[in-house]
Amino acid sequence: MAVSALTAWQALFFQGGPGGPENTANQWKRIFFITAASGGVGLWLVQLAGIAGLHTCASCGSENEQYVRDLGANDVVDC
């Protein structure tokens, strides 16, 4: 669990973003598309992006759609 959470944190805030969660809500006006949102890293990305105030669009199977929405995804695409 710790590795997937750290991977999501690193990807969202440092590899693909402005440098930290304190900067996201005011500087980013983008929609984040998260693939495999019901997987290990995807679940963390949905939650972290939601906490940071970002709009998320997530992809997952139909059986996990409500679960991903409950974690904070704004939009969900069935794939």
55-79 residue pLDDT tens: 899 999 999 999 999 999 999 999 8
Residue numbers of the domain that contains 69: 2-78
Please report, for the domain that includes residue 35, its CATH number.
3.40.50.720
Give the pLDDT confidence of 30-48 residue by residue, as tens digits: 778 999 999 999 999 999 9
Write down how long the chain is: 79
Number of domains in the chain: 1
- The model carries a pTM of 0.82
